[in-house]
């Protein structure tokens, strides 16, 4: 889950504000490549340009998403409005900070679906501030069925002083959050349990790793950096394609 280890015609330009009639940037992913039964090996990522900013967004990323668009697309896709506004806002913010990235809201939604069902896994939900309640904590990364990651944060984020665990709606491990944690709602706090913060962090991470994500191999490399299995790549690709077609 963001460890160290769109799906329509490519659209690189992103509207300043997402509206009902806006055409959103989404990845032109070669779905057939990701669905292959052989393992997808991500190529080495190119040296990316430094982010233009790693600061808070004072108004919050969800301010960029038109409420009417959010309601319409939520009804079509089943994505909770609070999560959808975060995906859309993070996509727009990424377009400003990484203009050559082409990150689509639907890819962030695909990851959110796979990782936590948009913050609704195991009885959790997103409150009005976008924070997962109760907190979403993944399994201990003991090495049995996962990468082995002994505790790195003294349990500060995941409550476990023995092993690290992925946390929040976008399932960041503590070390990755320490590097990429973001303040997406402008409250001055970087909280991995908050959908605005974690989605903006994911957007920056994907663009930094992948570069031009309108290119199929770069999209695959970025998703592989998030979780490097063919099954994961397939699941995110399928969900992203579904959301692009529905929304």
Coil, helix or strand at residue 163: strand
Identify whether 231 is preceded by a cis peptide bond (ω within 30 of 0): no
Chain-centroid distance, C-alpha 135: 18
142: how many CB neighbours lie within 10 A of its CB? 15
Q: What is the pLDDT of residue 4?
A: 35
Listed residue (96, 48, 44) closest to 212, CA to CA:
48
The Cα 229–Cα 239 span in angstroms is 16
CA distances from 52 to 12, 97, 183, 189, 208 (A): 18, 5, 15, 20, 11
Chain-centroid distance, C-alpha 67: 21
13: how many CB neighbours lie within 10 A of its CB? 9
Q: What is the pLDDT of residue 46?
A: 29
Listed residue (41, 170, 40, 192) closest to 107, CA to CA:
170
Listed residue (104, 106, 82, 81) closest to 94, CA to CA:
104
The dihedrals phi and psi of 238, each to the nearest 5 degrees, come to: -65, -45
Beta bridge partners of 150: 163
- The H or E element that residue 140 is part of is strand 137-140
Listed residue (67, 89, 97) closest to 199, CA to CA:
89
Q: 165-167 and 137-140: which strand pairing? A: antiparallel
The dihedrals phi and psi of 7, each to the nearest 5 degrees, come to: -85, 20
Q: What is the pLDDT of residue 58?
A: 52
User: Taking every pair of C-alpha atoms in the chain, what is the biggest distance, in angstroms?
Assistant: 50
pLDDT in tens, the chain (247 residues): 655 332 222 222 222 333 333 333 333 333 333 333 333 332 322 222 333 444 445 579 999 898 999 999 999 999 999 999 999 999 999 999 999 999 999 999 999 999 999 999 999 999 999 999 999 999 999 999 888 999 999 999 999 999 999 999 999 999 999 999 999 999 999 999 999 999 999 999 999 999 999 999 999 999 999 999 999 999 999 999 999 987 6
Q: What is the pLDDT of residue 41?
A: 30
């Amino acid at each position: 889950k963001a460890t160290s280890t769109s799906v329509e015609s490519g659209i690189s330009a992103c509207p300043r504000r997402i509206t009902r009639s806006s055409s959103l940037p989404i990845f032109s992913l070669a779905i057939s490549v990701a669905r292959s039964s052989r393992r997808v090996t991500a190529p080495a990522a190119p040296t990316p340009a430094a982010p233009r900013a790693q600061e808070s967004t004072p108004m919050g990323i969800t301010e960029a998403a038109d409420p009417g668009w959010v309601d319409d697309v939520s009804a079509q896709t089943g994505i909770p409005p609070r999560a959808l506004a975060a995906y859309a806002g993070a996509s727009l913010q990424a377009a400003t900070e990484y203009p050559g990235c082409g990150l689509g809201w639907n890819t962030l939604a695909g990851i959110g679906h796979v990782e936590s069902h948009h913050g609704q896994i195991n009885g959790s939900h997103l409150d009005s501030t976008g924070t997962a309640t109760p907190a979403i904590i993944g399994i201990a990364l003991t090495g049995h069925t996962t990468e082995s990651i002994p505790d790195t944060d003294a349990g500060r984020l995941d409550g476990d002083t023995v092993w690290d665990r992925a946390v929040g709606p976008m399932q960041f491990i503590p070390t990755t959050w320490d590097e990429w944690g973001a303040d997406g709602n402008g409250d001055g706090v970087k909280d991995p349990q908050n959908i605005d913060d974690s989605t903006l962090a994911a957007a920056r991470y994907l663009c930094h790793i992948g570069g031009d994500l309108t290119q199929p191999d770069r999209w695959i490399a970025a998703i592989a950096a998030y979780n490097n299995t063919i099954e994961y790549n397939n699941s995110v690709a399928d969900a992203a394609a579904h959301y692009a077609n529905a929304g």
